[in-house]
A and B are shown apart, each in its own frame.
Chain A
């Protein structure tokens, strides 16, 4: 076990290095750089090439690529991610501001997704190929196949039309600061995102249940004369949940970096939107830092989930 964890951590470091290299290269291949992009709003005739050179020098963009790469990797190894080109703040403090929002939204999305997926997946497994399965799955898949920005737009209009509640897109409260305010702000994105992610969880749970229901111990339980409900809730569901829970853990991790659309629409200053902006602005340090941190969150969650899985399910061997 110990050996396994150490090996995985080392491999993860290797993975982080590959990701760092990939993002470094991708950014340098992208046409243009911040030294020019920052003037996008300007009167374009007045930017003389010398101004751009001065800016490039200030940003360290005039250095040879290999040197830039060395400095980036070297600093990253010492956990120094540099400072954002745009805000001139340290990348860590930018991430510190953005990450909590993304995690809040991510967790809420997974909670919603799970609380819908659980009953739907369960019922449609138990009633496989009968009408409850068809109806539930049909409705779920149908409702969830829509783009999140479409469902969210419709929901927003409904809230505005009927003056249901105040969506505070400006105050941007954290959930621990102002729980009601924050929830009102998050409620549409969390449902739009949560429902969209339900489909996968629901499917997984359904197939897990189908599988488990045919396992020997379930048959044994049934043979013993146990009634259907305890069999399903007690034996089958518990076993089917294991992979589902691990998937949920992973989903939180991926959501952190991928909810650009919802963050954009609801003015949530999270990691996804920051990433999107920083790529457009060619803000190299910020993009690199954000990608590294989200990658770190993802691989670490992966590892934790795997270890937990092993702890919970003794059948798993370490490959």
Chain B
């Protein structure tokens, strides 16, 4: 493995679609993965501090978009097939709810472009990091909670009242303490993130966060959708019933006011006239149709312009519908870019023999699967996803890295030798588990069989079998660290900075370390050190060393395969003022789509569209 080329090379500005991932819901369950971050450390310190920078997108070869002037007005109808479990963004485990709330509630900062990790102002107008453990945020003045709508008319809410510094402190304290108003422990997923804050103090309109230790990734975490700012009065009043979803339990300071939220059916929101950004949002209203699961239903709804855009994790349908309507529609090659991995139970026999793990790591033909399941729309990923391009092993180097080699024959030869050396073929039946929410996607039904065929062929056996399983079987099995070999999407990318994600995945104390990876010196210490470094060159070197080690061990059975792109299909009358078409706005940036999308009803492609109506407030 020669990474020398990469590590000295200038890091390109345009990086990958970062993260995240959403979408994929199978039957019922949101197969959304990866958006959540782990209950773990987020790095510290100062990344792109300073002022709001516009998304500096220098997209090489980005599909050129006519610079049309955004038109305000209209209603945007799109689809969301997710399952929502609570109205409380701080306590959600399944993240799709944040996609809805992201348009309603604000955060301190937000990403203007999740690819690059560029931050822009949200509730905080300016921010600075005078030293590695201090963050000072200047909070926007004159922001008010939404004055109308079901949330504001909830007797418990204080609609129309100004946002105060105490509101912000309460949001921080609530998550840091992890307690509900009645004093009981709540499932606060960001508790460990906020626990990195030693003190949060207010003076005038500035909020000062003092960290316990330097963490270079902390600032990006503020833009994480999980850190939405909620109103104390309403949140505490509905805390006990937060799992019973309805629009009157949500109030925010964001661009849209939630007017209707019927899980499994529809979600509607109208423009917030008092939103602090004056030229946003463009739409009078937007609506998520919630009931889609089927490619035929997608196709009917889209081709008949009942929805203006949609995305499906399995691109076959999306691309086919695009091909059937090439002149009048376009694909946005972003939206989601999930990480797909193979998990092997390293602590359980026979996988305690590392040769077997390495053999699987080598034999997995990532590029073939990307073509078979994702129409070629994806790239192979090392231990750090290509989405986090700055931190990842570059694609050129991967071409000669075992497991990723262009000359797959060499990989396969070594894999077979290892498998035979470990008497792999005497182990009896080995079953691949694929989540049923994955396998129920129209184009992905044969995933277990494809895997089976791939490894049977590689090792010249017939011992591999495939099956699907429900997440309620998979999750407890992982937690017990004894599970069947798994293939599917996994959470791997949280924020553009890869360090925090690596700590979550690999450190010996992380709850997400299902493999018992225990390298305190070679991994834990190095990553902890990298986390505190503001000098990125030094940090990159440490992260590289960790990745090399991980690759040498067949990724310890946590075999990252690739990240795929699930394009969003939309009619040409749908435009946006966000990052260019081939860059990410994705789950992390879910607040971007409602803010930046607009519709041009005079576009020829809009003929035949019945402009949706909305109920005003």
Contacts and interface: CB of A to CB of B under 8 A. Distances in A.
Interface of A: 30-49, 51-52, 54, 58, 86-88, 152-153, 156, 160, 166-171, 264-267, 269, 276-278, 280-282
Given A48-B39, A51-B187, A265-B297, A41 B30 contact: yes
Contacts of A32: 470-473, 476
B304 to A, nearest CB: 5
A240 B511 CA distance: 70
Nearest to B92: A42
Contacts of A44: 33, 471, 474-475, 478, 490-491, 512
Q: Is the interface on chain B under 10, 10 to 19, 20 to 34, or 35 or more residues?
A: 35 or more
Interface stretch (B10-18, B286-294, B546-554): B286-294
Nearest to A278: B28
B94 A38 contact: yes
Interface string B231-261: 0000000000001110000000000000000
B579 interface: no
A97 to B, nearest CB: 9
B93 interface: yes
Contact of A46 (B93, B293, B301): B93
A46 B300 contact: no
B34 interface: yes
B296 A170 contact: no
Interface in B465-511: 469-476, 478-479, 490-491, 504-505, 510-511
B471 A39 contact: yes
Given A39-B471, A267-B292, A169 B301 contact: yes
A55 to B, nearest CB: 8
4 closest A-B pairs (Cβ-Cβ)? A45-B512, A32-B472, A43-B36, A41-B30
A41 B39 contact: no
B20 to A, nearest CB: 11
Contacts of A282: 470, 472
B369 interface: no
A32, A43, A47 — which one has the most chain B CB atoms within 10 A of its CB? A43
Contact of B504 (A45, A276, A277): A45
Contacts of B470: 30-32, 37, 40, 280, 282
B208 to A, nearest CB: 28
Given A38-B85, A45-B491, A167 B300 contact: yes
B472 A37 contact: yes
Interface of B: 25-40, 77, 82-83, 85, 92-96, 187, 189, 243-245, 263-265, 289, 291-294, 296-297, 299-301, 303-304, 306-307, 435-437, 469-476, 478-479, 490-491, 504-505, 510-514
Nearest to A35: B472
Contact of A156 (B77, B244, B299, B475): B299
A280 B27 contact: yes
Nearest to B27: A280
Nearest to A49: B479
Of A42, A54, A267, A277, which is in contact with the most chain B CB atoms at under 10 Å from its CB?
A42
B300 A86 contact: no
A56 to B, nearest CB: 11
Contacts of B39: 45-46, 48
Contacts of B95: 41-43
A40 B96 CA distance: 11
24 contacts: A32-B470, A36-B472, A37-B29, A38-B29, A40-B435, A40-B475, A41-B30, A42-B93, A43-B33, A43-B37, A43-B95, A44-B474, A45-B39, A46-B37, A46-B512, A47-B475, A47-B479, A54-B187, A88-B243, A152-B296, A170-B307, A264-B294, A267-B301, A281-B28
Contacts of B479: 47, 49
A299 to B, nearest CB: 28
B59 to A, nearest CB: 29
B289 A170 contact: yes
A15 to B, nearest CB: 29
A86 B244 CA distance: 9
A281 B244 CA distance: 16
A52 B263 CA distance: 22
A37 B34 contact: no
A90 to B, nearest CB: 12
A40 B29 contact: yes
B512 A86 contact: no
A40 B472 contact: yes
Nearest to A261: B294
Given A41-B25, A45-B39, 11 more contacts: A32-B472, A36-B476, A41-B82, A41-B94, A43-B34, A44-B490, A45-B491, A46-B93, A167-B300, A276-B27, A282-B472
Contacts of B510: 45
* A34, A40, A41: residue with the most chain B Cβ atoms closer than 10 Å: A41
Nearest to B96: A41
A169 B293 CA distance: 12
Contacts of B436: 280
Contact of B38 (A34, A46, A267): A46
A264 B26 CA distance: 12
Contacts of A265: 294, 296-297
B612 to A, nearest CB: 9
Nearest to A85: B243
A86 to B, nearest CB: 7
B73 to A, nearest CB: 21
A240 to B, nearest CB: 38
Contacts of A171: 306
A269 B297 CA distance: 12
A281 B299 contact: no
A41 B31 contact: yes
B473 A31 contact: yes
Given A45-B38, A48-B39, A51-B93, A168 B472 contact: no
By CB atoms of chain A within 10 A, which of B37, B304, B469, B491 has the most?
B304
